[in-house]
Amino acid sequence: MEGLLKGKRAVIFGVANERSIAWAISEALHAEGAELAFTYAGEMLEKRVRPLAEGIGAKIVLPCDVTKDDEIEKVFQALKQEWGGLDILIHAIAFAAKEDLSRAFVLTSRRGFQLALDVSAYSLVALTRHAAALMEGRGGSVLTMTYLGSERVIPNYNVMGVAKAALEASVRYLAHDLGPAGIRVNAISAGPIKTLAAAGISGFKDMLHYAAERAPLRRNIDAEEVAKTALYLVSDLGSAVTGEVLHVDAGYNIMGM
C-alpha cells in the first residue's frame, strides 16, 4: 500500500505537539507519499510545530488562528502560490473556555457558546470554502475530528458537544455542496485520547477508564489508529464515502448498557 498518496498535497490544521491527533495523521499521510503544509495557532505553538513539520520535509508552515479571516486567507493564498492546487484538508481543531468544560452546561455564557462554535465548527466551513477553490477540477478530500459528546451527554463535555453536533451537521451540508465537484467531506468520531485539548476537559481520566471498561474491544484507542482510518477516508480507498461520521472508538458508541 505504500505510496497511496503519492503526488497528493495536504494542508494540516491542528498540530499543537507530537501528541496531537493531527500529528499522527500527518505522519501517516507523509508515509504514504503526501506532501504536507502545516499551520499553527500562535507564536507559542510555532516552536513546537515548526521542528515537527520540517522534520518531515514540510516547506510551508504558517500561522493561522481560525477566528481570524485574514490569517485563513493568507494560508490559502500561500498554498495557491506554492502549489497551485490542493488535494486534502485536515481539520483537527477545537476550543472552549475551561470553565465551560467543568460545570453545568446550563451555565454556558453567550460568549462561551459563540467561541466554542466559532473555533470548533464554523472554522470547518471557512477552511473548506477556501480549500474547495484550490481543489477545483481535481477533486479532493476534507476530514475533520469529532466526538460522541455530539450524540450523547458526556458530563463536562458540555458546549463542546453542541459544537461537535454543529460540526457533524456541517460535514453533511458541505458534502452535499461539494459532491458535484468530486470533493468528499467526512469526520472521524474518535474515542478519548490523552492530548493537550483533552487535558482541558474536567474528569478526562475517568472518561478514559470508563470507555476502556465498556467498549466491546475493552480498551482505549490511540492516535495512530485514528490516523489509519484517516488514510482510508482521504485516499482513493474511501472514494465513495462522503458526508460520513465514522466512529474509531473500540466500539464504545454501540453500547446501551
Active site residue 40: no
- Rounded to whole angstroms, the Cα distance separating 112 from 27 reads 33
Binding residues with ligand NAD: total (CB under 6 A): 27
Name the minimum Å distance from CB 120 to ligand NAD.
6
Amino acid at residue number 93: I
Q: Which of residues 21-40 bind ligand NAD (CB under 6 A)?
A: 21-22
Q: Closest separation between CB of residue 237 and ligand NAD, Å? A: 21
90 forms part of the interface with ligand NAD (CB under 6 A): no
Q: Minimum CB separation from ligand NAD for residue 49, in Å? A: 8
Instruction: Determine whether 147 is an active site residue.
Output: yes
| CB-neighbour burial class of residue 42 (10 A; exposed 0-12, middle 13-18, buried 19+) | exposed
Asked if 222 touches ligand NAD (CB under 6 A), the answer is no
Site string for ligand NAD, 141-180 (x = CB under 6 A): ----xxx---------------------------------
- Candidates 15, 116, 135, 234: give the one binding ligand NAD (CB under 6 A): 15
127 belongs to the binding site for ligand NAD (CB under 6 A): no
The only residue of 45, 78, 126, 165 in contact with ligand NAD, by rule CB under 6 A: 45
Cα 221 to Cα 191: distance, rounded to the nearest angstrom: 6
| Alpha-carbon distances of 125 from 20, 84, 94, 238, rounded to whole Å | 22, 21, 14, 21
Helices 158-178 and 110-117 cross at an angle (nearest 10°) of: 40
**Whole-angstrom Cα distance, residue 249 to residue 215?**
8
Residue type, 218: R
Stretch (H or E) spanning 149: none
Q: How far is CA 86 from the centre of its chain?
A: 17
- Note the residues at the interface with ligand NAD (CB under 6 A): 14-16, 20-22, 41, 45, 64-67, 92-95, 119, 145-147, 190, 192-193, 195-198
Catalytic residues: 147, 157
